[in-house]
Amino acid sequence: MFFRQIFDAELAQYAYIVGCQATGEALVIDPERDIDRYVRIAAEEGLRIVAATETHIHADFLSGLREFAEQHDVKLYVSDEGDADWKYNWAKGSDYDVVFLKDNAEFMIGNIRIQALHTPGHTPEHMSYLITDMGGGANEPMGIASGDFVFVGDLGRPDLLESAAGVAGAREPSARRLYESTKRFLNLDDHVQVWPGHGAGSACGKALGSIPQSTVGYERRFNAALGFDTEDGFVASILEGQPEPPIYFARMKDLNKNGVPVLGDLPAPKLYSIEELAERGSKDGAVIVDTRSDRKGFMAGHIPGSLHAPLGINFAMIVGSYVDPSTDIYLIVEGSDVDEAVRTLVRIGYDNIAGFVPPSSLVECGLSEEIIKRVDFHDLERDVDAAMYTILDVRGAAEYAGLHVPGAINIAHTRLANRLAEVPKDKPVLTYCRTGNRAAAAAALLAREGYDVTLVDGELAAWPGFRAEGAPAGVA
């Protein structure tokens, strides 16, 4: 049996290729929308992808299932569990070769047996897949592709149906379904490998490990989320402290349920001169996304109206939270990083990537004319005058509740674009987070929207108002 885990570092997402080397057939599990890389990997191993499946209707990226059906005429296997509101509407009645799976359904990829297990909680329709290498002589599963059900050190969050998809009152019932699903997981043998759908950095859980895989036995012993004796204790714990999901999650859910637009070839943004890009990017219906990792450099000078979204784990979260998908995007990005940026954007539904220039062009042509003020936390006054400033904490609600600058209002950076009306414009804004990364993105958005904003940069712990016992003076 051939097995390959494919990691998307920007979205902390794992897809899998499972292949039968005897027949040359392969299955891809949880593919993202840019499917050419899966096809290439399989071909390099002498395999042909004949089937594609996924564990659930994803919220954090666009599925590649429809792309596989359109481009390669593969057989699709999708869940037919869950309630009527969470079915694969785009697949029903289509001309695609689709098999709708019920709990315990099995199918073969060459000599490899795939068994679907309905494991709801993260989503109502969620499936996990037990993989058995029958061609190698096994009659018991080697591993489970657990999707967003079980992660290394954590479980998939059960609140997204309510917090991202807007289904009121779904949090607690989903958590109770997740608790029941864990019993099924814990009935598996200790040796069964666990192949999760995400790693550290994903917003689909709150304490995901960075180790790429585990075993049922290890998770049984060391995954704290699996150690509760009572359902009520489990529910309270799993719902507590979940971070606010990015705004774009709702759109991903809707498209993955009702139909992801066919991508075809990847967008090929044009290399512009800096003058032309600045002109085009300043028009209505366009935005410049500056991907420089040096936030001090960005604050010291950038094209007016640019958003600050460094490539990496936060890039998709920032663009997905601040940019309308119909907008023409112009990138400030190194030529060697264009492919990474384009792939990340199309994975979350941004296909209008019109052009780019390298960051060096900014300095060479002197177009870095907009400056955002910044102050280091260790230079910030111990007692910030909330009457003179709007103090904006862009961390999550749980972080804010634990420690914050007195007088600060709290809007998570992923929610800021939808809640700008709550930020007054009648006085300057000081924005901060724990380290400066999230606040830098928020400061750029606020500047674009006409606010007089200052980035409070660096570690919150360096602020003079931060007391040794772990709370700033004046915190309620």
Torsion of CA 457, 463, 464, 470, to 10 degrees: 180
Burial 333-361 (b: 16+ CB within 10 A, else e): bbeeebebbbbbbbbbbbbbbbbbbbbeb
Spatial separation of the C-alpha atoms in residues 59 and 65, rounded to whole Å: 15
E strand or H helix that includes residue 66? helix 65-72
Spatial separation of the C-alpha atoms in residues 234 and 224, rounded to whole Å: 10
- Asked whether this chain's domains 2-258 and 373-462 adopt the same fold, the reply is no
Nearest by Cα to 315 from 331, 303, 328, 299: 331
Write out the chain's pLDDT in tens, 476 residues: 999 999 999 999 999 999 999 999 999 999 999 999 999 999 999 999 999 999 999 999 999 999 999 999 899 999 999 988 999 999 998 999 999 999 999 999 999 999 999 999 999 999 999 999 999 999 999 999 999 999 999 999 999 999 888 889 999 999 999 999 999 999 999 999 999 999 988 888 887 888 999 999 999 999 999 999 999 999 999 999 898 899 999 999 999 999 999 999 999 999 999 999 999 999 999 999 999 999 999 999 999 999 999 999 999 999 999 999 999 999 999 999 999 999 999 999 999 999 999 998 887 666 667 899 999 998 888 888 888 999 999 999 999 998 899 999 999 999 999 999 999 999 999 999 999 999 999 999 999 999 999 999 999 988 888 754 455 554 54
φ and ψ at 409, to 5 degrees? Answer: -95, 155
- Which pLDDT value is given to residue 468? 42
Spatial separation of the C-alpha atoms in residues 404 and 456, rounded to whole Å: 13
Spatial separation of the C-alpha atoms in residues 348 and 63, rounded to whole Å: 9
E strand or H helix that includes residue 261? none
Q: At what angle do helices 171-186 and 231-239 cross, to 10 degrees?
A: 120
Pick the CATH number of 373-462 from 3.40.718.10, 3.40.50.2300, 1.10.357.10, 3.40.250.10: 3.40.250.10
Q: How many CB atoms lie within 10 A of CB 11?
A: 24
C-alpha separations of 100 from 77, 82, 83, 324, 349 in Å: 6, 12, 14, 33, 25
- Which pLDDT value is given to residue 208? 84
Pairing of strands 48-53, 25-29: parallel
- Which pLDDT value is given to residue 335? 96
Sequence spans of domains, the chain: 2-258, 270-365, 373-462
Please state which CATH number belongs to domain 270-365. Answer: 3.40.250.10
- Which pLDDT value is given to residue 203? 82
SS3 128: strand
Spatial separation of the C-alpha atoms in residues 319 and 350, rounded to whole Å: 9
Nearest by Cα to 175 from 159, 160, 192, 196: 159
- Which pLDDT value is given to residue 367? 61
- Which pLDDT value is given to residue 197? 97
Pick the CATH number of 2-258 from 3.60.15.10, 3.20.20.450, 3.30.70.920, 3.40.50.620: 3.60.15.10
- Which pLDDT value is given to residue 364? 67
CB 274 within 8 A of CB 357: yes
